[in-house]
Amino acid sequence: MAPHKDHVRAGVVGYPNTGKSSVINALRGGGPAKTSSSSGFTHGRQNIRLSKKVTIIDTPGVIPYREKNDIKHAIIGTRNPEQLEAPENAVMALMSRFPALIESHYGIPAPLDLAHADHENTLEAIALRYGRIRKGGLPDTVTMARIILADWQQGKISLKDYRFSAL
């Protein structure tokens, strides 16, 4: 498409898995931009015409080169749980940020003293409850953490019913 003085082209740029394609689909009133709950779904640039005079460019997500915060990226959904070396750290950060949310979702009693909760023990209890067990009967906290993060990223763990007054 040749540039024209009356034609506007705008790119949508941001972190992976933050809804760039969904915003474009909402603007267009339907979806030419394919979407997924998995990070890194959009692989190449797509030009999507909104009208005769407006084209939106859908781009793959970008993470600044120097930004290496796996916990942040796991929580905001810009990294797939399988890509993380220590997904347990991100789950424990979620437990700290939203006391009793993860426990409630997975049917584990929340500690009475939320300020001094042992998130590692909680993650182990969830792993055992859901049958994620390694050799020797030990809880597989890595696999369980990846499951929890996937549930979080896909919206299965909702803040809708979370009681912020519990903080």
- pLDDT tens-digit series, residues 69-121: 888 888 888 788 998 999 999 999 999 999 889 999 999 988 888 777 899 99
Strand partners, 9: 55
Spatial contact of 102 and 83, defined as CB atoms under 8 Å apart: no
DSSP character at residue 60: -
Q: What is the pLDDT of residue 70?
A: 84
Ordered by where they begin, the domains of the chain are 8-58 (no CATH), 70-166 (1.10.1580.10)
The pTM for the full model equals 0.69
Query: Taking the chain, what is the end-to-end CA distance rounded to the nearest angstrom?
Result: 54
Spatial contact of 17 and 40, defined as CB atoms under 8 Å apart: yes
Has residue 166 got a pLDDT over 70? Answer: no
The single-letter code of the amino acid at 48 is I
Instruction: Count the helices and strands in the chain (H runs, E runs).
Output: 6, 3
Structure tokens that stand for 54 in this block: 């407006």
Q: Identify the residue with better confidence: 78 or 36.
A: 78
